[in-house]
Structure 1
Amino acid sequence: MGGLLSLGGVSVLGGTQAFSQTDATRGTAVQTAGDRNALLGVDPVASVQTGTDGQDLVTLTNNIDAVLDVTISLDDPSQGSVSPSTATIASGASTTITVDVAADSPTGTDALPFTVSATDGGDFSVSLTRTVDVEAGPQLLRHVADQSRNNTAQYTVQFDVNGVSDFDRVEVSFVSRDNNWASGSSTATTPEGSVSYSEGGAMGDTYDITIDVYDTSGSIVLSETVTDVADGSNPSGNDDLGGPNSPELDSFSLQDTTRRNSTDFDLDYEVSNLTNFQEVRVTFENRDNSWATDTKTDTSAPTGSVSYSAGGTQGDTYEITVAVVNDSGITVDSGSITHVSGSSSSASWP
């Protein structure tokens, strides 16, 4: 609907009109032709991306013969933040508002609502709400496993890069704050994969582990740094790398046949959703004697089994983790139990 409407102290409503609420003196012309050419021109972008900062959100234009003070906010602050959140716009001038969208912001049509309010400090004021679509943006998922033991720092970093159309490579650097000679780096040319570190650094050293994602122009498009003390415990913030089409761990059972001070385990597992399945990796971590820690693998599916044996360890506490690995070498599902060797004949998960 187009045209001009002369009003005095009115409310103007409508999805395609410039304002959801307007106050004006008698005789003020309130244009209803559309947001862009209204008294406060509002020109939002079509869509924004999750996990991306500094994106254009909306351009505001002052079409009245006075200065406008404007405030802008997201209706749901957990979705991100705008900049600037306040602006002063001269008559005939425009300003563009940008937005940082949170990585976990909901996606879809009209998924990001925002409100704009403007006033000339006198008789004119307006408040309106608009929405833009939200699309999934570039995303880096990572899992840093601290596998340090026997006074040696060891790490495995798994990653999954999504939404980078011109992806080139992933570079992972391990910088020791305590021993520079122990720093190292690895490169992978696939968006999903893993790299390992074992340069001889000592347990207790502090590492800055940086994951950089490059595009084909050589620019870093995604980056994250994790700081961790090499102590055998994983840092916080690890992501779940499994997706709806990933292999899944259904169950596993442990038979403890320990005797004569020798730990013996037999473990049976069951997995499903096998399209991208590579193997099952079972880690028997001895918390009392690290030399007795061992990892076994099996490529059998949907069922399989592994065995473990270590002398002199009866009564030791084990953390037993069964990990399902996809065809990119990524752990996409896992389950763990804690078990004392020789304490019972069986245990199970879940």
Structure 2
Amino acid sequence: MYDIDETADFANVVVTFDNRNNNWGDTTSSTTAERDTITFSQGGQMGATYDITITVFDTDGTITDTVQITDVANGDSQSAGDLTDSDSPSFAGTVVDDLGGSQANYEVSYNVSDRANFGSVRVKYTNLDSSGADATYSSSDPRHNIDDYAEAFFGNTAGDSYRIRVELVDTDGVVVDERVVSDVADGSSPSGNADLTRPSSPALSTYSIADTTNNNNGRYTLQYLVSGPDTDFSQVEAIFLNTDRSWATQTKSSSNPDGTIQYNQGGVGGDEYKITIRVLDSDGIVVAEVTETDTADGTNP
């Protein structure tokens, strides 16, 4: 990603990616845009060392500037200078939630301010332990919840380490704001999450959790009441996170603002649970949340 100053005689930018290990991993790209993103992807080259040369030419074909960078292809970025403009969008807040279970289960919520030049939001998941579990998702909605990774199946990734990069892209395709977090997929969300509520957000007025576990069959009954405008309410989610047996973790939901959610799972009597109640607004963003811990033994938390 780059931005050119003093553009009166600007002609083009040429970027060369020189792989020190394999010549077939080299490439050269050129563009005439004054502000742009150039993307290069080469399979099988993670860990290789690259010499990256960025050359600027004027209308006479003369080189007016050159930047050289050496980098190892490992997901760690390098940057110099500020690519934002005075009218660039920015994150008003981001949330990265780790929902736990037998596989990595993540979702990202965000809100963008100064939206005139907003392009998209891109979320990149890099699994640092298991190959084949990387994924990238994007949205053109300036306030949204991206939960695609939660819906994908990446077996045996519970407990793996992740690098999650949330990028805000402007209309030129340049990243002007980002949040990068490292997390272990264990059901505990990383720190630094923002509050994305707004005046019209629904709220969790009351709730009760009844533990009716019997004969090693884990049973819970959740009763709840949501207050606030119905127009900004979408659903209530209840995450029953079994910290002893990940396969017994379940997420239940209801679109009723005044209702009951049931959990019933055999063979989990005596297990420890984290029960999280979440209220989602019309954008799918969590605007109210509470968590209770309990042992599935028939005694209410």
**TM-score range normalised by the length of the shorter chain:** 0.5 to 0.7
**Alignment-derived partner of residue 107 in structure 2:** 156
Does residue 1:167 correspond to 2:123, yes or no?
no
Name which of 220, 227, 237 aligns with 1:281. 237
Does residue 1:231 correspond to 2:183, yes or no?
no
- The 3-state SS of whatever aligns with 1:143 is strand
- Provide the aligned C-alpha RMSD in A: 2.1
- The 3-state SS of whatever aligns with 2:132 is helix
Number of equivalences: 209
The alpha carbon displacement at 1:148 in A equals 4.1
Q: Which runs of 5+ in 1 are unaligned?
A: 1-99, 101-136
- The 3-state SS of whatever aligns with 2:141 is coil
Going from structure 1 to structure 2, the CA distance change for 1:321 and 1:232 (only over 3 Å counts) comes to closer
Name which of 125, 128, 137 aligns with 1:177. 128
Q: In structure 1, give the amino acid aligned to 2:234.
A: Q
- The 3-state SS of whatever aligns with 2:116 is coil
Q: Which one has a bigger Cα radius of gyration?
A: 1
- The 3-state SS of whatever aligns with 1:315 is coil
**Distance in 2 (alpha carbons) for counterparts of 1:316 and 1:176:** 29
**Alignment-derived partner of residue 295 in structure 2:** 340
Give TM-score scaled by structure 2 length: 0.64
The alpha carbon displacement at 1:221 in A equals 2.3
The alpha carbon displacement at 1:317 in A equals 1.6
Query: 1:82-113, CA deviations, whole angstroms, 9 ceiling, x for partnerless residues?
Result: xxxxxxxxxxxxxxxxxx9xxxxxxxxxxxxx
The alpha carbon displacement at 1:174 in A equals 0.9
- The 3-state SS of whatever aligns with 2:247 is helix
The aligned runs of 1:78-89 (5 Å cut-off) are none
Going from structure 1 to structure 2, the CA distance change for 1:176 and 1:140 (only over 3 Å counts) comes to farther
Going from structure 1 to structure 2, the CA distance change for 1:308 and 1:204 (only over 3 Å counts) comes to closer
Give TM-score scaled by structure 1 length: 0.56
**Alignment-derived partner of residue 198 in structure 2:** 243
Going from structure 1 to structure 2, the CA distance change for 1:168 and 1:293 (only over 3 Å counts) comes to same
Native 8 Å contact 2:212 2:298 kept in 1: no
Query: 1:54-97, CA deviations, whole angstroms, 9 ceiling, x for partnerless residues?
Result: xxxxxxxxxxxxxxxxxxxxxxxxxxxxxxxxxxxxxxxxxxxx
**Alignment-derived partner of residue 7 in structure 2:** none
**Alignment-derived partner of residue 138 in structure 1:** 90
**Distance in 2 (alpha carbons) for counterparts of 1:257 and 1:199:** 31
**Distance in 2 (alpha carbons) for counterparts of 1:204 and 1:314:** 23
Does residue 1:147 correspond to 2:99, yes or no?
yes
Q: Which runs of 5+ in 2 are unaligned?
A: 1-81, 83-88
The alpha carbon displacement at 1:247 in A equals 0.9
Does residue 1:261 correspond to 2:261, yes or no?
no
Query: 1:247-267, CA deviations, whole angstroms, 9 ceiling, x for partnerless residues?
Result: 111121012222122122111
The structure showing larger relative contact order (alpha-carbon pairs under 8 Å, at least 6 residues apart) is 2
Does residue 1:293 correspond to 2:249, yes or no?
yes
Going from structure 1 to structure 2, the CA distance change for 1:256 and 1:273 (only over 3 Å counts) comes to same
Query: 1:228-273, CA deviations, whole angstroms, 9 ceiling, x for partnerless residues?
Result: 2223321111112222221111121012222122122111101111
Native 8 Å contact 1:140 1:222 kept in 2: no
Going from structure 1 to structure 2, the CA distance change for 1:257 and 1:206 (only over 3 Å counts) comes to closer
**Distance in 2 (alpha carbons) for counterparts of 1:229 and 1:264:** 28
The percentage of aligned residue pairs carrying the same residue is: 35
